[in-house]
């Protein structure tokens, strides 16, 4: 769900065409079968940023059936490489099928398992990191992302508005959503206020955070906030 005006959103979606060719077929399949892949306006945003920055090394946290990874592979630098992570067998099997069918097996490496455990053991540098996994874990992923991001690199995080809950008072949020809400608020505070990151919020679909690393070392500032 988007938090922007519905008529305005419909207008934007009416002029943003879906992708064509094999990428378009994958997008259509994902939407038809109900896989939680990025929406069309977000896909357009991501494609534009990738085409603009031409990253050589990309890390994705949250692969699903491989739509956003396939999309990024089309617009990144030729000869570049994507590492993507997922822990759910159904998604992993479908993503492997996607990468085989699209002949992307050499360009995309799928790491299987819990992202936090995998990130803790990784020590590589990336030009762009796309965070699109469990929203309540973004705050835990962040230190690993800033550690592995090259200076001048970009971090993009999806679904930061949490269907609009992010702007509400804590007591007005359904109880089951409160922990994720608090963690997302802490994540946004760190990303928007830390030394060595320049960040903004993009109100596309369910909201994106876009950050760039401007220093060799990022000193993460933490929000003191109880769950
Ligand atoms: C929103 S979907 C990703 C969609 C994908 N980026 C796309 O647009 O094509 C989120 C995925 O993250 C995976 N996921 C969630 N939390 C995870 C974690 N802690 N470790 C690994 N995978 C995780 C889920 O299994 C799911 O497939």
**CATH (one of 3.30.420.480, 3.40.50.150, 3.90.79.10, 3.40.630.10) for 6-213:** 3.40.50.150
Mutating to test ligand 1, I would choose from 30, 62, 104, 208 the residue with most ligand atoms within 8 A of its C-beta, which is: 62
**What does the radius of gyration of the chain's CA atoms come to, in whole angstroms?**
17
Q: What's the pLDDT band for 4 if we cut at 50, 70, 90?
A: low
Treating both helix axes as pointing N-terminal to C-terminal, what angle do 40-53 and 6-15 enclose, rounded to 10 degrees?
Answer: 60
Q: How far is the CA of 13 from the centre of ligand 1 (A)?
A: 24
Cα-based distances in Å from 92 to 68, 88, 130, 151, 163: 14, 6, 17, 31, 26
Mutating to test ligand 1, I would choose from 41, 63, 83 the residue with most ligand atoms within 8 A of its C-beta, which is: 63
- Residue 226 confidence (pLDDT): 64
Tokens of 58: 């990309």
- Residue 77 confidence (pLDDT): 87
pLDDT in tens, 160-219: 999 899 999 989 999 999 999 999 999 999 999 999 999 999 999 999 999 999 999 999
Burial of 171 (0-12, 13-18, 19+ CB in 10 A): exposed
Lining residues, ligand 1, CB within 6 Å:
36-38, 62-64, 67-68, 85-88, 91, 114-116, 132-134, 137
pLDDT in tens, 16-41: 988 999 999 999 999 999 999 999 99
Phi, psi of 158 (to 5 degrees): -100, 155
Domain layout of the chain by residue ranges: 6-213
SS (H, E, C) the chain: CCCCCHHHHHHHHHHCCCCCHHHHHHHHHHHHHCCCCCCHHHHHHHHHHHHHHCCCEEEEECCCCCHHHHHHHHHCCCCCEEEEEECCHHHHHHHHHHHHHCCCCCCEEEEECCHHHHHHHCCCCEEEEEECCCHHHHHHHHHHHHHHEEEEEEEEEECCCHHHHHHCCHHHCCHHHHHHHHHHHHHHHHHHHCECEEEEEECCCCCEEEEEECCCCCECCCCCCCC
- Residue 153 confidence (pLDDT): 98
- Residue 199 confidence (pLDDT): 98
Q: How far is the CA of 116 from the centre of ligand 1 (A)?
A: 12
- Residue 13 confidence (pLDDT): 86
pLDDT in tens, 66-120: 999 999 999 998 999 999 999 999 999 999 999 999 999 999 999 999 999 999 9
Q: Are 207 and 4 in contact (CB under 8 A)?
A: no
Q: How far is the CA of 94 from the centre of ligand 1 (A)?
A: 13
Q: What's the pLDDT band for 3 if we cut at 50, 70, 90?
A: low
pLDDT in tens, 118-176: 999 999 999 999 999 999 999 999 999 999 999 999 999 999 999 899 999 989 999 99
- Residue 101 confidence (pLDDT): 97
Question: Could you tell me the pTM of the whole model?
Answer: 0.96
Tokens of 130: 């796309």
- Residue 224 confidence (pLDDT): 79
């Amino acid at each position: 769900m988007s938090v922007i005006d519905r008529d305005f959103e419909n207008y934007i979606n009416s002029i943003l065409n879906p992708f064509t060719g094999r990428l378009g077929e994958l997008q259509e399949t994902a939407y038809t079968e109900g896989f939680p892949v990025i929406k069309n306006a977000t896909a357009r945003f991501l494609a534009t940023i990738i085409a603009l920055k031409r990253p050589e090394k990309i890390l994705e946290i949250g692969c699903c059936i491989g739509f956003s990874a396939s999309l990024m592979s089309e617009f990144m630098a030729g000869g570049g490489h994507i590492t993507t992570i997922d822990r759910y067998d159904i998604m992993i099997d479908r993503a492997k099928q996607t990468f085989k069918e699209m002949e992307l097996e050499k360009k995309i490496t799928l790491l299987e398992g819990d992202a936090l455990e995998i990130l803790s053991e990784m020590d590589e540098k990336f030009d762009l990191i796309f965070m699109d996994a469990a929203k309540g874990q973004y705050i835990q992923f962040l230190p690993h992302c800033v550690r592995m991001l090259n200076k001048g690199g970009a971090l993009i995080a999806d679904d930061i508005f949490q269907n609009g809950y992010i702007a509400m008072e804590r007591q007005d949020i359904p109880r089951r959503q409160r922990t994720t809400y608090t963690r997302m608020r802490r994540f946004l505070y760190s990303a928007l206020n830390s030394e060595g990151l320049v960040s903004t919020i993009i109100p596309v679909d369910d909201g994106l955070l876009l950050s760039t690393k401007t220093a060799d070392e990022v000193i993460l500032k933490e929000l003191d906030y109880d769950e």
